[in-house]
């Protein structure tokens, strides 16, 4: 599952992940990130749009578990 959203807040990011999302794409980055996010999700890998590096790191660690 890939979320497409305007929300950059960490609470939304981690809520999406808790619901099973492998991808989290910001609408402002849709043109550059959406296809990559879909490809990664289809391959079972996590993808997150450019947000704070700490949030991205936590997302990737949880996805690897």
Tell me the per-residue pLDDT of 9-25, one tens digit each, with 9 for 90 and over. 888 988 998 999 999 99
CA–CA separation, 62 and 34 (whole Å): 21
When pLDDT is averaged across residues 38-57 and rounded to a whole number, the result is: 82
Is the pLDDT score of 53 beyond 70? no
Sheet holding 2-5, edge to edge: 2-5, 23-26, 47-48
The total number of residues shown for the chain amounts to 65
Max Cα distance, the chain (Å) = 29
> What pLDDT was estimated at residue 31?
95
Q: What is the pLDDT confidence band of residue 65, given thresholds at 50, 70 and 90?
A: low
Q: Which two tokens stand for residue 41?
A: 């999700």
């Amino acid at each position: 599952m890939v979320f497409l959203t305007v929300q950059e807040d960490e609470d939304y990011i981690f809520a999406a992940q808790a619901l099973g999302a492998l991808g989290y794409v910001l609408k402002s980055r849709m043109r550059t990130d959406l296809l990559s996010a879909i490809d990664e999700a289809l391959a079972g890998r996590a993808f997150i749009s450019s947000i704070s590096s700490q949030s991205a790191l936590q997302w990737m660690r949880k996805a690897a578990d």
